[in-house]
Structure 1
Amino acid sequence: MRSEPRTLLAKLCDRDKLTYRRFDKRFNETGVRLFGHSPNNPTCGETQFRRWTGGKLTGLPGPETCHVLEAMWPGHTAAQLFAAPLADDPQVPVFDLEERVHMTAREAHDGAGATAAASISDNTIDELRDQVVSLARRYHGLAAAGAYEAADTLRREIERHRDRTQVPFQQQTLMILNGQTAALLSVAAFDLGYFPSARTLARTTAVYGESTRFAPLQAYADGTLAYVAYHSGQSSEALAKARRALSYGGLGDVARRRLHAIAARAYAHLGDIASARRTIRLSEDRGQDTRDELHDEVGGEFGFSEERLAMSNSTTALLMGDAEQAEAEADRAIVLLGQRAQDEQSPHVLAGAAADLAYARLLSDNVEGAAEALSPLWDVPAEQRKTGVVVRTARIGRHLARPHYHGSQLPSQLREQVEEFTRVSPPYRLGPSMALLAIAP
């Protein structure tokens, strides 16, 4: 079976019985004859030869290459050699399909080899995924600065491997992992008091979620943007972000629990008490027993435990002025936390709940009860005193500075402890102080 050749060069090679090896030998010998023995002499690899004879070249090769080809077939210009042969040329035999099939097979093989070379091992991706999961689950026990460094190192490693693969599925997986590290970086930046950077990193997370159509990552990012917003005094923006996050499909019960808790806080900041109470009830709904790949499968910092929910709702109750509910929720958070193994207990949740419990008791003028509630707070290492805890503690300090307590020994002692606790915390030492002032209830 025969087919018309694509180029005059193909016909001439077939006429002269030039396989690639023979063509390459003659091409190199002609180059030496024209230019001498020089490392700069033009060459032609087998894939390039198949492109030349298959009519796949756009334009002409370099002038030296053209010179060699014209010397191999005097009487033909390079332009003629790479053009389709004249139909009435009697000197050139019909192109053999066998050679065409061989050429196609070689090109397909070379293309597959190039793709394989532009991929990475699936084991490498599994290892990176395990590292992201491990960091998310260890986050509660890490200092914010250490967590930030670990997440940034992991982010750079994922980026390095992204540059090494062109396989779509691998690119997709690595982008999701990149989004998860950006999310952890955003949380760490917030915990350190760097609100603008936390917002930028959360938006970066949202971009990865949108690009990969991974709704749980988008929802997590919008939830983070929401609490950065209300901690920056932008309560309406916070509520808008939380509502948008709740509109995404594919979210599990844990994701919705977190977002309802954030929305309830935003309502409380806005003074909409009825909506805040309704949304608190939604956050406590047991849901439909649905899960997603981020909040449940990865979990850790991406999760939202029952004790964390109770702590959050305690803070919301304080913003509503409901000291009784706040005390009940804070107590519940501490009890739930105590039921966990020691290495699973979050110092941040314990300290936050303790601070809320103390403030709720202060609202009832129970200073002794507040002092008792604060006792776990003083044991939190300085490097683990994150923004949420520092803000809650500073609120207690402001309350104790009221004229009502002037001259009283215990309030003065507690106020001094609060000042020292806050002074050595990372958000106070590293973050802009104005960010902490903006969220005073």
Structure 2
Amino acid sequence: MEVIVLRQLAEKRDLVHYASFIRVFEAAAREVGHTDLTVSDRQWDRWLSGRMKGLPHPRAREVLRHVFDRPATELFRLVDVLAPPCGDVASGLQDLPSEDRAKGLYELMMDAADRSREAAGDAELMLGGAAMEQLQDNVIQLARTFLQRPPTTIFPELTTVRDHIAARKSRTRKPAQLGELNFLSGVVTALLAEACIDLGEITMARHHARAAWSFAISIDHVPLAVHARGLMASSSYWAGRPREAVMAISRAEEHRPTGLAAARVQSIAARAWSHLGDTDETMRAIRAATEARAEDQGSDELQMIGGVFLWDEVRQRRCFSTALLQLLHQRGDDFETAAVRRFTGQVLTHTQQALDMAQALPTDERSQMVEATIRIEMATALVLLGDLPGARECLAVALRLPADMRSLPVLHRLVGMRTRLAAQTGRAARQLGDDVAAFVQGSTVKALPAGS
């Protein structure tokens, strides 16, 4: 029989059990300067199995060498060990002399007792209350500050917290704690999806959103499952695949969301339908979102976390203005002048109300990115009405947004305006177009390499 050298050394030091190993591994990681490095229980099992292809990444190899004093090339080498003739311990004992058989049986009983003690300890494993509270506080803080921070700085923090949650799942057997850790995992992966959308990495956003949905389903958490489906729809929408967004919305509706969860789903649906140029479905979704908000009972756990999970009226009205502007972009030439002016007037109403509410929020809750997107949509409506001076004045504050906060949703909202400006002549149109072009060109997000 072949086993991996790593397993043999781990057995000698009583480190095969993950809870014992991870304490030693993380302490060694800190000693060699990798303070954020950890390993999941699944990864540890793969290492011990001997079925890995290749070697762990360099930082993990360095820590393993520090723990076992052997290079990774030796640790992950398979070696032969003696096995009982018939393939199991019991039948092997029968072939021994009576004295040795008794000794072997005693050792087997001792080993079985040791394993039972370990199993009993595993059953009682639980994280301390302080550790759980710290994880919860970290996740809530990230959610509540998400809209105020650049995606380039918050993304690394999210990955670190996600890894810490994953590592701690193996340290408890309490169902309530495991359920809470799965909930926190779902929240963090949903935040990773949001950050990927901001950074323009739509495919990665879908992977994170699907993971968030899986965590939600594992604990029957309907609001989180609905939120994750909404993220799948949003990522499809921003990727220019509105039919996929509509399909994701239909899957979200299978969870029968109510209140603000339903309002968010229908608001995203309005944007998706507007990209398909379907006026009737866009307006139906806007009405459904408005009705769902009016019926909200205020019991959604995600809404209580707040921050990016809080579907407030600011973001809902911004969704409405986004959908109406997209309809004008898709179908403007088909509409009569009166219809164009009516829709444009509605955009101005929604954006003005959204901006007033956004500016009324406490300073630490206001978001430069959110307010910039509202101003961009307001300015686009003014361009449609031919008020270029008014559009430039409205846009001036938005164009001061820092380079690392010019996210994909911010830049994407300028597409319609640039199209309209390109069709106009005159100095005012050219000047406004130059201002917008310089803003886009200076974006950190736009400068990120593909696949980064």
TM-score w.r.t. length of structure 2: 0.70
Instruction: Give the unaligned 5+ runs of structure 2.
Output: 1-87, 329-342
% identity of equivalent residues: 27
CA contact (8 A) 1:194 1:431 kept: no
Cα shift at 1:316: 0.7
In the alignment, structure 1 residue 115 sits paired with structure 2 residue 123: yes
| Per-residue deviation, residues 58-113 of structure 1 (Å, max 9, x unmatched) | 8429769965844869xxx979xx9xxxxxxxxxxxxxxxxxxxxxx999877543
Structure 2 matches for 1:313-352, cutoff 5 A? Answer: 313-321=320-328, 322-352=343-373
Of 161, 173, 177, the match for 2:184 = 177
Quote the offset at 1:262 in angstroms.
Answer: 0.3
What residue number does 2:144 align with?
137
Q: Using the alignment, how far apart are the partners of 1:64 and 1:379 within structure 2?
A: 83
| 2:275 paired residue number | 269
Partner of 1:382 in structure 2? 403
Aligned residue for 2:305, secondary structure, equals coil
Contact 1:255 1:295 in 2 (8 A): no
Runs of 4+ in 1 over 6 A off after TM superposition: 105-110
CA distance 1:423–1:69, shift in 2 (3 Å): farther
Match of 2:160 in 1: 153
* Greater C-alpha Rg: 1
Distance in 1 (alpha carbons) for counterparts of 2:226 and 2:406: 26
Aligned to 2:290, which of 260, 284, 293? Answer: 284
| 1:161-240 → structure 2 map (5 Å cutoff) | 161-240=168-247
For the structure 1 residues 272 and 110, does the alpha-carbon distance in structure 2 shift closer, same or farther, using more than 3 Å as the test?
Answer: closer
Provide closer, same or farther for how the CA distance between residues 152 and 108 of structure 1 changes in structure 2, counting only shifts above 3 A.
Answer: closer
Summarize the Cα distance change of 1:331–1:65 in structure 2 as closer, same or farther, 3 Å threshold.
Answer: farther
- Shift of the 415–323 alpha-carbon distance from structure 1 to 2, 3 Å rule, reads same
Offset of residue 155 of structure 1: 0.4
- Taking structure 1 as the reference length, the TM-score comes to 0.72
CA contact (8 A) 1:235 1:266 kept: yes
Residue type of the alignment partner of 1:420: A
> Aligned partners of 2:271, 2:325: CA distance in 1, in Å?
10
Letter in 1 for 2:222: A
- The answer as to whether partners of 1:206 and 1:221 remain within 8 angstroms in 2 is yes
Could you say if the C-alpha distance between residues 78 and 256 of structure 1 is closer, same or farther in structure 2, counting changes exceeding 3 Å?
A: closer
How far 1:169 sits from its partner (Å)? 2.4
2:428 corresponding residue in structure 1: 410
Structure-2 separation of matches of 1:295 and 1:193: 25
Preserved contact between residue 192 and residue 431 of structure 1 (Cα < 8 Å): no
Aligned residue-pair number: 346
- Paired residues of 2:93 and 2:105 also in contact (CA < 8 A): no
Contact 1:176 1:208 in 2 (8 A): yes
Q: 2:90: which partner in 1?
A: 60
Is 1:244 matched with 2:251? yes
Gaps in structure 1 of 5+ consecutive residues: 1-57, 83-104, 434-441
More helix by share: 2
Aligned residues of 2:122 and 2:173 also touching (Cα < 8 A): no
Cα distance change, pair 65–178 in 1 and its aligned pair in 2 (3 A): farther
Measure the CA separation in 2 of the matches of 1:209 and 1:110. Answer: 31
Query: For residues 231-289 of structure 1, what are the alpha-carbon distances to aligned partners after superposition, in whole Å with 9 as ceiling and x for unaligned?
Result: 2222121112112212314x452211111100111111112111211211221223333
Equivalent positions of 1:65-80 (< 5 A) are 69-70=99-100
CA distance in 1, matches of 2:444, 2:98: 71
Equivalent position of 2:308 in the other structure? 301
Amino acid corresponding to residue 444 of structure 2 in structure 1: P
Distance 2:386 2:221 in 1: 48
Q: Is the 8 A contact 1:243 1:263 kept in 2?
A: no
Q: Closer, same or farther in 2 for the Cα pair 1:78/1:418, shift >3 Å?
A: closer
Structure 2 CA distance for partners of 1:373 and 1:125, relative to 1, 3 Å? same
Partner of 2:421: 400
Q: Which residue of 2 aligns with 1:430?
A: 448
Output the aligned Cα RMSD. Answer: 3.0
Q: Hey, what's the Cα distance between the residues in 2 that align with 1:216 and 1:357?
A: 31
Looking at structure 2, the residues matched to 418 and 72 of structure 1 have their Cα atoms a distance apart, in angstroms, of: 86
Letter in 2 for 1:386: S
Q: Is the 8 A contact 1:223 1:259 kept in 2?
A: yes
Give the CA deviation at 1:123.
2.5
